[in-house]
Structure 1
Amino acid sequence: MISVVIPLFNKEQSIDSTLQTVLKQTFQDFEIVIVDDGSTDHSVEKVKKVIDPRIRLIHQTNAGVSAARNRGIEEAKGEYIAFLDADDEWKPDYLKTQYELTQKYPECNVFACNYEFKDAQGKVTPTIIRKLPFESEKGILSNYFEVASCSHQPLWTSAVMVKKNAIQSIGGFPIGIKSGEDLLTWARLAVNGKIAYAKQAYAVFNVEGYSISEKPKRIPAEQDIVGQELKALLKAHPSKGLRLYNALWHKMRSSIYLRLKMRKKSIREAFISIKYNPLNYKLYIYIVLNLLPVKI
């Protein structure tokens, strides 16, 4: 059995359609563990209207998405845990594909597939995934950090399934981090086990509110816990791929600071990224842009 873990916080507009994409799966041996993280809208009422004995609704005071996912992991009865955010979708063969990966690659701890973006107008955009190490439709993602450093993220939460004991062995999702907690989790899993991957997109990331052209809604955390933990991972598991992954994290922070016009912080993050990957020309562009007058 697969346990589907859905953290829920004020998603009354989407939770019903998200649940329906689970219930319509061609693979039906699953349970749904919904962790209400202190919702203040009508999300819980929407869930209660969906009648299916496989749905369990658990309540907790608001503690954040990582705590909600960890509670779902703890409550899950299945050997495998598939994560799904309350505003995303699965195509009908998603769980079937993930289950097939477990049968073909039992040595793996993580099972993932490609996904696609959908905006508020319904426009669908594919991901760009480069440098996959296999030619067939499914295979072992043996160079996860290298792929993640030059592509859209190959592991995205609503398109990932893990062995319960594997996610528990790394302590679940890190608490107290508001951005990047998923990237750190996948990195920890990647250095501790193998990843099976399917090239075809079976999940849909509803990206409303995630436009990179808009001013970021959240300032990066002053205490960069993710950066510190990724640096520690690199020290414990030195590799070119993990160096590039560290560079990517600081490049992302530099980009956000640049768009927020926080120039000194953007330049600082760019220089940290350059230490890990001095050949990334975009970092030098970031520095130049930060030094130019605002009007330019």
Structure 2
Amino acid sequence: MDISVVIPLFNKKATIAATLASVTGQSCPAREIVVVNDGSTDGCEAVVESLGIPNLRLFHQKNAGVSAARNYGASLARCEWVAFIDGDDEWLPGFLETVIGLHDASPGHEVYATAYYAGDYQGNKRPITLNKLPFSEEQGVLDNYFEVGSCSDPPLWSSAICIRKAALQEIGGFPLDVKSGEDLLTWARLAVRKPPVYSTRPLAVFWQEKAHTYDDKPNRTPERDDPVGKGLAALKTIPGGDARHLGRYLSMWYKMRSSIYLRLGQRHNALPEILKGLRHQPSNGKLYIYLLLCLMPPAVTRNVFKRFGR
């Protein structure tokens, strides 16, 4: 199993060297590393060049966003398999070895992935929560992806995943018309085709900025036309696709959108999202709590999310 590593890079001067060290330090090395500089302005591309990594190729594009950078990197990859990692995340020892082991144990799938740690801006990290797993061993086929995703932290994540290049291209790559949630929609489009093979051993770290935690306000509002929600709903119509539990997954998506609106103090925007989520899953208990939060002062709502948000 030959693997190309693709790294989209935008203004990660402080972290890219550590990210690359975590890639080059793997016990099973990747065949190549493709870095796509997405119009950075902080000089991070010079850091990449200064490291002199022999199997690394650096490409440049005008700033077009992370989806475009990932798609461009994947198109340049020479291997059948592509593993992604962002320029401020890291792989732990054994990540690529585990991915290869998953492939050897369960060939014929299109996605191989591991669990990961969620790290915050203060340096703390925790393993993600996984519920409703269909296997009791450390690894297996995630054949109920939408069920697990509806009641857990996102099981698939952009820096702990390896994808068959052709499969990614067949679904059109990462969507270019999505500002937030583009990776979530991509994993869903892949999972409905063929279930991922998964290891519950956390072998990567997702380092989150303060705005991505409950300690600060979100730094963006949900997109009004909701291309991710529409894209997820469209998966029901794919012939032969496995869309079991997709309704619960959609309910989770609307819960995420409503929580952002609530944290921003936009209760009038949160309410329609809550109602959409309940329509897809009337038993989603958190959404009833969110209904109550719509009646609370914004300061109280923010404090509730800070204390109990996860």
Q: Distance in 2 between matches of 1:31 and 1:15?
A: 16
Question: Which position in structure 2 is the counterpart of 1:233?
Answer: 235
Q: Distance in 2 between matches of 1:121 and 1:97?
A: 28
Pairwise mapping of residues 34-183 of structure 1 onto structure 2 (< 5 A)? Answer: 34-183=35-184
AA of the residue aligned to 1:59: H
Q: Distance in 2 between matches of 1:168 and 1:230?
A: 18
Is the contact between residue 74 and residue 82 of structure 2 (CA under 8 Å) also seen in structure 1? yes
Q: Distance in 1 between matches of 2:187 and 2:299?
A: 40
Question: Which position in structure 2 is the counterpart of 1:9?
Answer: 10
Q: Distance in 2 between matches of 1:190 and 1:238?
A: 8
May I ask how many residue pairs the two structures share in their alignment? 296
Q: Using the TM superposition, give the Cα deviation of residue 235 of structure 1 relative to its aligned residue in structure 2, in angstroms.
A: 4.0
Q: Using the TM superposition, give the Cα deviation of residue 233 of structure 1 relative to its aligned residue in structure 2, in angstroms.
A: 1.2
Question: Which position in structure 2 is the counterpart of 1:247?
Answer: 251
Q: Distance in 1 between matches of 2:19 and 2:113?
A: 19
AA of the residue aligned to 1:254: S
Question: Which position in structure 1 is the counterpart of 2:306?
Answer: none
Question: Which position in structure 2 is the counterpart of 1:221?
Answer: 223
Q: Distance in 1 between matches of 2:244 and 2:95?
A: 32
Q: Using the TM superposition, give the Cα deviation of residue 239 of structure 1 relative to its aligned residue in structure 2, in angstroms.
A: 4.4
Q: Secondary structure at the match of 1:174?
A: coil
Q: Secondary structure at the match of 2:143?
A: coil
Aligned-residue CA RMSD (Å): 1.4
Q: Distance in 1 between matches of 2:21 and 2:298?
A: 47
Q: Distance in 2 between matches of 1:91 and 1:294?
A: 39
Is the contact between residue 141 and residue 195 of structure 1 (CA under 8 Å) also seen in structure 2? yes
Moved more, 177-186 or 230-239: 230-239
Moved more, 92-101 or 229-238: 229-238
Is the contact between residue 149 and residue 248 of structure 1 (CA under 8 Å) also seen in structure 2? yes
1:103/1:213 CA distance change after superposition, 3 Å: same
1:174-200: CA deviation from partner (whole Å, max 9, x where unpaired): 002110000100000001112100111
Tell me whether 1:277 sits opposite 2:277 in the alignment.
no
Q: Secondary structure at the match of 2:159?
A: helix
Is the contact between residue 16 and residue 46 of structure 1 (CA under 8 Å) also seen in structure 2? yes
* Structure 2 gap ranges (5+): 301-310
Is the contact between residue 38 and residue 61 of structure 2 (CA under 8 Å) also seen in structure 1? yes
Q: Distance in 2 between matches of 1:284 and 1:168?
A: 39
Q: TM-score normalised to the size of structure 2?
A: 0.92
1:87/1:235 CA distance change after superposition, 3 Å: same
Question: Which position in structure 1 is the counterpart of 2:261?
Answer: 257
Q: Using the TM superposition, give the Cα deviation of residue 76 of structure 1 relative to its aligned residue in structure 2, in angstroms.
A: 0.3
Question: Which position in structure 1 is the counterpart of 2:207?
Answer: 206
Q: Secondary structure at the match of 1:69?
A: helix
AA of the residue aligned to 1:232: A
Q: Secondary structure at the match of 1:5?
A: strand
1:42/1:248 CA distance change after superposition, 3 Å: same
Q: Distance in 2 between matches of 1:37 and 1:29?
A: 22
Extract structure 1 runs of 4+ deviating beyond 4 A. 237-240, 293-296
Is the contact between residue 81 and residue 163 of structure 1 (CA under 8 Å) also seen in structure 2? yes
Quote the sequence identity (%). Answer: 48
1:3-58: CA deviation from partner (whole Å, max 9, x where unpaired): 00000000000001100111111002420000000001110110001112210001
Q: Using the TM superposition, give the Cα deviation of residue 75 of structure 1 relative to its aligned residue in structure 2, in angstroms.
A: 0.2
1:295/1:205 CA distance change after superposition, 3 Å: closer
Q: Distance in 1 between matches of 2:279 and 2:145?
A: 21
Q: TM-score normalised to the size of structure 1?
A: 0.97
Question: Which position in structure 2 is the counterpart of 1:28?
Answer: 29
Q: Distance in 2 between matches of 1:217 and 1:205?
A: 18
Q: Using the TM superposition, give the Cα deviation of residue 260 of structure 1 relative to its aligned residue in structure 2, in angstroms.
A: 0.8
1:79/1:287 CA distance change after superposition, 3 Å: same
Q: Distance in 2 between matches of 1:269 and 1:281?
A: 14
AA of the residue aligned to 2:249: Y
* Structure 1 gap ranges (5+): none
Q: Distance in 1 between matches of 2:30 and 2:292?
A: 54
AA of the residue aligned to 2:258: S
Q: Distance in 1 between matches of 2:258 and 2:195?
A: 31
Q: Secondary structure at the match of 2:214?
A: coil
